[in-house]
Amino acid sequence: MDFLPIKRALVSVTDKSGLPELARFLTAAGVELVSTGGTRRMLLEAGLPVTSVSDVTGFPEILDGRVKTLHPNVHGGILADKDNPEHLATLASHGIAAFDMVVVNLYAFGKALEKKLPRPEMVEQIDIGGPTLLRASAKNFASILVVPDPAFYVEVMDALAANAMQAPLPLRQKTAAATFRQTSAYDAAIAAYLADA
C-alpha cells in the first residue's frame, strides 16, 4: 500500500532521547502505544496511556528481561502482510492485533565495549529482541513503519502530520534500509568482539 494508516505502535528503546515528544504526537493522534520495561515506565511517568507488552502476550517478561517480545502476538502483528487477506484472516482467527509502527533501538553494545566490561556483562549487552523486532519490521516495510533511531523522529512526525497519520511508502522503505544497515553493523561489532575475546 502506498499510504499506511498508523493506529498502533510498539515502542521499546534504549536511547530515550526525543521519545516523549514522539509518543505525545502519536497519542494525540489516537495511536495506541504498546511498550516494555523502562520505556513503558518513562511513558507512564510522562502521563501517556500505554499498554504493556505482557498484556499483549499474556505472558510476563522472563529471564531478567531476555524474553519480552518474542511471541506470536507481537511478531504476528508485525509480520502480517496487510494486503494479503489470508494473513489478515489468520490474525483474526488467533485474536492478534496488527502493528503499524515499530519504534526500537538497540542496547548500546558499543558503549559497553568502551567500558571493557567482563565477558558475562558484555554478553548481557547483546540485544536479541531488538534486532528481531527491527528486522521483522524492516522486512515487512510494505505493511509497517519501522523507526530504528531517534534521528528519524522529526521526519516521521512531519510525514505523518502531512499525510493524515498515514506513512508514505518511500519513507517506510527508507527507514527499512537504515534498519538493515544498523542491525548489520550491530552484528558485525558483536562478531568482532567475540572473535577477539
Question: Helix H segments across the chain?
Answer: 19-28, 37-45, 53-57, 72-79, 85-94, 109-115, 119-124, 129-139, 153-162, 169-196
DSSP state of 98: P
Distances, alpha carbon 49 to alpha carbons 100, 163, 190, in Å: 17, 24, 35
Cα Dmax for the chain: 50
The pLDDT, as a whole number, for residue 197 is 61
What proportion of the chain, given as a percentage, has pLDDT over 70? Answer: 99
- Strand, helix or coil for residue 33: strand
Low-confidence ranges of the chain (pLDDT < 70): 107, 197
* Cα distance between residue 128 and residue 125, in whole Å: 9
Amino acid letter, residue 183: T
Q: Which of 84, 100, 94 is nearest to 26 (CA)?
A: 100
Architecture of domain 3-196: 3-Layer(aba) Sandwich (3.40)
Domain spans in the chain, listed from the N-terminal domain onward: 3-196
* Cα distance between residue 20 and residue 43, in whole Å: 7
- Strand, helix or coil for residue 67: strand
